[in-house]
Amino acid sequence: MDEIAKLRNVAIVGHGGAGKTSLAEAMLYNAGVTNRLGRVEDGNTAMDFEPEELKRQASLSSGFYQYDWAKTTISLIDTPGDQNFFSDSRLCMQAADGAVVVIDAVDGVKVQTEQAWEFADEFNLPCMIFINKLDRERSDFLRTFNDAAESFKPKPVVFQLPIGKEADFKGIVDLISLKAFNYDDNGKAAPCDIPADMQEQVDAEREALVENIAESDDELLERYLEGETLTDDELNTALKKGILTRELAPVLCGSATQNIGIDLLADFIGNCMPSPLEKAPVLCTDPDGKEEIECKPDPDEPFAAFVFKTIADPYAGRLNIFKVISGTLGGDGNFLNTNKDAKERFNQLLILAGKEQKPINQALPGSIIAVAKLKETKTGDTICDPSRKVKFKCAKPLPALISFAVSAKNQSDEDKVFIALNKLLEEDVALNLDRNVETKEILISGSGQVHIEAITEKLNRKYNVEVLLNTPKVPYRETIKKRVRVQGKHKKQSGGHGQFGDCWIQVEPLPRGGGFEFVDAIVGGVIPKTYIPAVEKGVVEACQKGVLAGFPCVDFKVTLDDGSYHSVDSSEMSFKIAGALAFRTAIKEAKPVLLEPIMKVAVITPDEFMGDIMGDLNGRRGRVLGMDTKGKNQVINANVPLSEFLTYAPDLRSMTGGRGMFTMDFSHYDEVPAQIAEKVIEEINKEKEES
């Protein structure tokens, strides 16, 4: 149990560019794990090592490192902050027992900071805030703290104050111990006196801090209000309780690149963030999802874990990363994959240290470990001891926001494209792959253009497959606006038995989304019952290709009300052809129109970009439905045609400097304006002629 009590699983989260990877690097350097302070700009960090990450100087996938600090073992999860890769952050935060939310002291709270906080709420993670980059020009600790205080609950509480500002930032005042530290150019701390000009501020913030901590314990609060002096031990006990119950979020500060305050942050994580033993038991179910089961962090319970990340390598094979919730796993053996109902055999347990993997002999509750070359297991699966079959509910990836039609650059690689993309799907569950039967395209969908571009680079590097990305074709539909009644007659004589089918149908429009309806109104047996389904089948097959541009026809009703037959020459095939002929004639006369998919869109943006975004949505033929407030951001709800929204992800990023985000779901089909429809039909028919 001592080993579990020493463990701290901490996710470092926040907006892209806030300095999360630099913070992890400084923590590793201070612990003696690395012999230099890695820099993202130099491409020599322990956490970012994939070529795509080095090229973009940003984390595209979560990095892991476990190391010892003081009397604790810290297991770091360095998550991406870019919206394009934020699904990975969400999935990996499930494995943490606490989160360090990093905020840039220059830019303050951004959209991804707020989203990371929402994920922490979702997983009930205790949070602390680290205000970073206080050495930068235009950095401001109090402004950033107030920004966080306005944005987040539980309430952020100041635990440290910076000494100096911008280029003169050199030290930290710790409000718990009331000690001050100056840092030299190598990041070494030396105790110093609290600056005289800060004493009044320190006293005021210390008093507010003690009151905030005391509020975590009713008995302590009562004594505090009665004027009693609380001891440091009492404050620390109440502080841990307040963090664990998410009543408060401590705010620390420093500079990762200058290594100022990072040792104090690591101490705070070790002393105040919870171990797996202090978290509530994890709820799961039996494999059928009917019975709820508690999994406790007890090494003597049956083994149970969930897989939250997978790394695919064409040479080393699949590497599954999972968190042990209960029980003890030995160095080799078997376990059951509950999702696949399959037994898996493993030969070695690994802990991750950046790009390296180190073998270990056993894994206890709370451990984040990896196993290579499992046959069936993928992200989201539960693995457990067969003696107690359980299934954990894992988070889903964020919805895809942009799609491209993907094709092989070299024709000889066409078969390899789909296979290689499926391999990457194992690694990146935020990626969607689909074959559009209608347009005959392979569609790849992801969180943004950068996400898709990084995937194509991986395809080339890992599987030697080069692809081309094109804007996907829009799945238009066709429908009618007028009611008509027409005849479809098929008559053919070629010696022997001929072919004869004759039907009259009424075709009329249905409300949008009405689909297809067929009514048999035949009386008196003018068409035998056995042939009526053939007429319907002919209509259904014919409506797959409309008359305007060859798109499926929808939202119409067909009533079969008359016809005739021949006792010898009629057959099901004859009436199927007659039904198809009747429909093709009818649709031409019934005022056919083009329909386009309309998407329900929610754009989340800071206030200052509202005007630009509203104007842009109007320019895309969007219809704004309303606005809501989300934290300090605005949410614009709108319906926008898909054809106008295919490239919105990079456009929104450009308009908002990366501070905006959006979600998009299919809403309905609606008529394309006549002038635009003409151009669309002309372009599509021209493409058909050229091909």
CATH number of the domain at 164, please: 3.40.50.300
CATH number of the domain at 605, please: 3.30.70.240
Residues 10 and 61 in one domain: yes
Residue type, 79: T
pLDDT at 315: 64
Q: Which residues contact 320 (CB under 8 A, 6 or more apart)?
A: 307, 309, 310, 370, 371, 372, 374, 377, 378, 379
pLDDT at 621: 95
Residues 519 and 575 in one domain: yes
Residues 7 and 101 in one domain: yes
Q: How many CA atoms lie within 13 A of 313 on its CB side?
A: 12
Residues 261 and 119 in one domain: yes
By DSSP bridging, strand 7-14 and strand 72-78 are parallel
Residues 579 and 494 in one domain: yes
Q: Where a domain ends, among 418, 441, 470? A: 470
CATH number of the domain at 305, please: 2.40.30.10
Q: Which residues of the chain have pLDDT under 50?
A: none
Residues 42 and 124 in one domain: yes
Residue type, 585: T
Q: How many CA atoms lie within 13 A of 118 on its CB side?
A: 13
Residues 307 and 409 in one domain: no
Residues 73 and 30 in one domain: yes
Q: Where a domain ends, among 335, 356, 384? A: 384
Q: Is residue 519 part of a domain?
A: yes
Q: Is residue 208 part of a domain?
A: no
Q: Where a domain ends, among 358, 384, 410? A: 384
Residues 451 and 319 in one domain: no
Structural domain total, the chain: 5
Q: Is residue 81 part of a domain?
A: yes
Q: Is residue 691 part of a domain?
A: no
pLDDT at 223: 84
Residues 257 and 375 in one domain: no
In eight-state DSSP terms, residue 450 is H
In eight-state DSSP terms, residue 38 is -
CATH number of the domain at 520, please: 3.30.230.10
Separation between Cα atoms, residue 176 and residue 153, nearest integer Å: 22
Sheet with 499-509, strands from edge to edge, namely: 484-492, 499-509, 556-564, 516-520
Q: Which residues contact 500 (CB under 8 A, 6 or more apart)?
A: 490, 491, 492, 565, 566, 569, 570, 574
Residues 68 and 118 in one domain: yes
pLDDT at 622: 94
Sheet strands (E) in 327-373: 329-330, 333-337, 342-346, 349-353, 356-360, 362-363, 368-372
CATH number of the domain at 430, please: 3.30.70.870
pLDDT at 632: 74
Q: Is residue 229 part of a domain?
A: no
Q: What is the per-residue pLDDT across 109-119, written as a single tens digit (0 to 9) for each?
A: 988 898 899 99
Residues 605 and 621 in one domain: yes
Q: Is residue 234 part of a domain?
A: no
pLDDT at 496: 65
Alpha helix positions (H), 170-231: 199-214, 218-225
Which residue, among 245, 240, 244, 265, has the nearest Cα to 254 in the 3D structure?
265
Q: Is residue 242 part of a domain?
A: no
Domain that holds residue 557: 478-590
Is 161 within 8 Å of 172 (Cβ atoms)? yes
Q: Is residue 689 part of a domain?
A: no
